[in-house]
Amino acid sequence: MRSIWNGAISFGLVSIPIKLVNATENHSISFRQIHTADGGRIRYRKVCELDGEEVSAAEIGKGYEEADGSVIPITDEDLSALPLPTAKTIEIVTFVPASEIDPLQMDAAYYLAANGIPAAKPYTLLREALKRSDRVAIAKFALRGRERLGMLRVVDDVIAMHGLLWPDEIRAPEGVAPETEVTVREAELDLADALMATLGDVEVASLHDDYRTAVEAMLAAKSESGEGQAAPEAPAPSGSAQVIDLMAALEKSVRAAKASRGEAAADEEARGEERGEAAEVAEVTPIRPKAARRAAPKTTAAPKAATGKKSTAATKKAAAQTAAKTTAKTTAKSAAKTAKTATAATAATAATKKTTAAKTTAASAKKTAASKKPTPRKRTSA
């Protein structure tokens, strides 16, 4: 890369020879001004307003116009004689955390390359010191006829410098914020957070200039088909710029962002699984009074279609479980009654046998006692 400035970094008493290289490049497509009638180029000529003659670049100098219209000529010698220590030096003045730099001050970016083998050692020292301190260096330097402010930081293994605007060049944002009071609800913030989380995974390196691509395609088409062809029509806008319902717009944006990343189908499937699990968990048999338990179980009515509460399979399963429980209870009661009846009959039979045995024993004892009595003797008359 071609250097645009040669000088040195002043780091205390350490001087590091460097070359300044542009870190960015402009890919914008530039157009020429033409005469629409015949396509001829429109050129701007530098003409002196006093004599009307065209002036070459070598004859053009600098001048400062005062309020009354008079011009004070300024030469390059006048500018070079100014006491400007940063004319060929990037003078580091302080080191600060990167968070203290306002992004509004950011300007053009440059790479600082070590100029020669002797500069490699101090260059590496400054780079490693910046890495370990986790700070950036604030410096002054002169470029293109004016003194500027810069910020030095490490990018990979290179020291980069961002041109900074002077603090007094940043305008205060007066009258820019909305003047009316607006209340933002928590639900709106939650949707905004969801949209930010959905869009936050886009890799910045994958972004590109769609407008430049469209212009290049248009130029290629017109070049192949010849001049005078109509430009391709611009796509219709996706929607109105006016937001009527903020909540609806946020919800639609979240759905569109998820659909573009293929997450809508996965989310819908997950929601379906959650609904199925909830239906299975929600199978609860209500507790009924004793009178209702003795009655015959009623047939469960058919579920209404598309209620969204329980599926048909879940309802049938619940009815089957209820019927099974009722049948089990009835069977248990019948068995208990049968067992009770059998127990009573057994007890009665045992009592009857006991009574009969007692009667039989008493009769035998009476008979035996009767047989043991002495027979009375008959008296004989003398």
- DSSP sequence for 81-115: TS--TTSSEEEEEEEE-GGGS-GGGEEEEEEEEE-
Does the pLDDT value for residue 271 go beyond 80? no
DSSP state for residue 238 in the 8-state scheme? S
- Least confident range from 172-186, 195-209, 259-273, 337-351: namely 337-351
The pLDDT, as a whole number, for residue 382 is 38
- SS3 call for 9: strand
pLDDT band at 356 (very low <50, low <70, confident <90, very high): low
Q: Quick check: 317 and 283 in contact, CB under 8 A?
A: yes
* Helices and strands in the chain: count of H runs, count of E runs: 8, 9
Encode pLDDT of 313-347 as tens digits.
555 555 566 666 666 566 555 555 555 555 555 55
**Rounded to an integer, what distance in angstroms lies between the CA atom of residue 254 and that of residue 315?**
35
- d(CA 112, CA 117) in angstroms, rounded, equals 14
pLDDT in tens, 57-90: 899 999 999 999 899 999 888 877 777 766 788 9
Is residue 147 predicted with pLDDT exceeding 90? no
Q: What is the mean pLDDT of the chain?
A: 76
Locus of tokens 């599926």: 311
pLDDT in tens, 77-136: 887 777 776 678 899 999 999 999 999 999 899 999 999 999 999 999 999 999 999 999
